[in-house]
Chain A
Amino acid sequence: MTDRTLKDRAAIVGVGATPYYRRGRSLPQTPLDLAIKATLAALDDAGLGADDVDGFALYGGAFVDTSLLAQILGIPEVRFTAGLTGGGGGSAGSIGLAAAAVATGMADVVVSVLTLQQAHMRFGASFAPRSKGGAGAYSAPSTPESVFASNSGLMAPGQMFAMLVQRHMHLYGTTRDHLAEVAISTRNNAITRETSLMRDPLTREQYFDARMISEPFGLYDYCMECDGAVAVITTTPERAKDLRHPPVQVMGSAAGGAGRWGQAITWMGMPDEYFTSSGHRPIAKRVYEMAGVGPADVDVALFYDHFTGMVLLQLEDYGFCGIGESGPFVAEGNIRWPEGTLPVNTHGGNLSEAYIIGMTHVKEAVEQLRGTAVNQVPDADIALVTGGPASIPVSALLLHR
């Protein structure tokens, strides 16, 4: 009987990206153009070509469909195509989906790609009623469920996650200084990278002087609204052996969450015991179990960082500190590169490099484990990548070299 695990049964062999752009500045390219450029770059990085591809494993916000991608790329035969449901919470999990396809023999070379162009929509108010924003600039149609939130003016992800962090502050004494530490340490990592959209240092004074958006989140607690695409190529361990780079092995992946986490930020009815969480606790447990490791084994963590506070809650949910202790944990410098005990978002994250819905985190994990990262963690063996906090699913990926 085969072990029911993904551990060491798939490898990432290629990563590629377009340049990253501020919202709308990727025009006149189309989202499909961006997806294809990133895919071809990732294939080239692997030493493969479009003729080798036979699978696609995407996630909810991919904004591109396999049918058109395969047609335009001239893929000889698509043997597997699937996407995780939900939104950005599936980013890390889409690689797990690709790994599942190659581990079960459904496909050999699987593309995971995310393309994003916000010229005609804005994630910054993504739950605002489409009819009220004008010109289709806001994305969500009202539903019988969503109006229970939007009728109060709660219609933007930043406002919604602010609710979770506000309560965390109330329960545990977390402060905006702790949020600032996430923003500043992440910015420090972006400064050295040519790919980053934010390359100026961020001071504590700038953080606190910036405009408040939705308390307790101010301007620098938010990620950016960006355009761009990132692609990742997953294949079998056998195929991975003689490609361009040393393979990065999948140790484990999980996607989902507790059922009553549910729609999370858009319903606010999550059970009290994990309201002030990232929704990741069940995922953390499963991905560590599959990989056979624990938090002490992780050398670098790439946390989905749409908002500073949600990095804090993931540090707790993945066991790097106790529940409620993430504020003091970051204040001690633990997440800083290179000196911290757990360098976090060494690429500058969604906050300061670019927001491509979490896929830049997968790319960075691969570069860290190849030893080619711009902000290299010495001898990095194991990397953790997360997708979301979001509604179900949130996801995780553990990789090793």
Chain B
Amino acid sequence: MVTRVGVLPSEFVSFVANPATEPFWTAAAEHRLVLPRCTNCDTFRFPPAAFCWVCRRQDVEWVEHDGNGELYSFTVLRHAVIPGLAEALPIVIGVVELPDTNGCRLIGDILGCPPEVVEIGMPVALEWYDVDDGSVPCFRPRA
């Protein structure tokens, strides 16, 4: 038997952005994962920021990533910390580290497997969760 695993209800999703983060969400709406990388020193920065945290320059290029990563940590939300989440529980929320990005981590729901089998270190693949105004990253176990 597979335990149902929920995803964050779409009404909680927000695409509040600034010029530094907007390209991420614009690409996400097209189901492309792009990450900002400093053109001066090749350091990725995430969440997207206007300045490189190593060389402090603003030069940036947006690099596509396939979204295959490894589960760095997770929590299984079993109690509705705000009332509107009750119908979606349990939700597995993961922190996913992406290879070849100097340690960039995405936060996303882990879908497609019961909470009991989720473990740190498991390979995951990116999946886009579409809501009205765009898409947010989620992940599924990867073989």
Contacts and interface: CB of A to CB of B under 8 A. Distances in A.
B73 A163 contact: yes
Nearest to A167: B73
A272 B95 CA distance: 13
A147 interface: yes
B74 interface: yes
A129 B12 contact: yes
Given A154-B93, A213-B79, A269 B104 contact: yes
Contact of A144 (B20, B76, B78, B138): B20
Given A144-B21, A166-B73, A170-B120, A150 B14 contact: yes
A124 B11 CA distance: 20
A212 B116 CA distance: 14
A146 B15 CA distance: 10
A370 B17 CA distance: 52
B136 A152 contact: yes
A125 B77 CA distance: 13
B55 interface: no
B2 interface: no
A153 B85 CA distance: 8
Interface in B92-138: 93-95, 103-109, 115, 119-121, 136, 138
A152 B108 contact: yes
Interface residues of A, number: 46
Contact of B107 (A128, A137, A268): A268
Nearest to B136: A151
Given A153-B91, A153-B109, A166-B74, A147 B16 contact: yes
A152 B11 contact: no
A162 B81 CA distance: 14
Nearest to B18: A144
A144 to B, nearest CB: 4
Contacts of A269: 46-47, 103-105
27 contacts: A125-B81, A129-B12, A132-B12, A148-B21, A148-B47, A149-B107, A150-B14, A151-B13, A152-B107, A158-B81, A159-B75, A159-B81, A162-B75, A163-B93, A166-B75, A166-B120, A167-B72, A167-B120, A170-B73, A212-B76, A212-B78, A212-B79, A214-B76, A215-B76, A269-B103, A269-B105, A271-B103
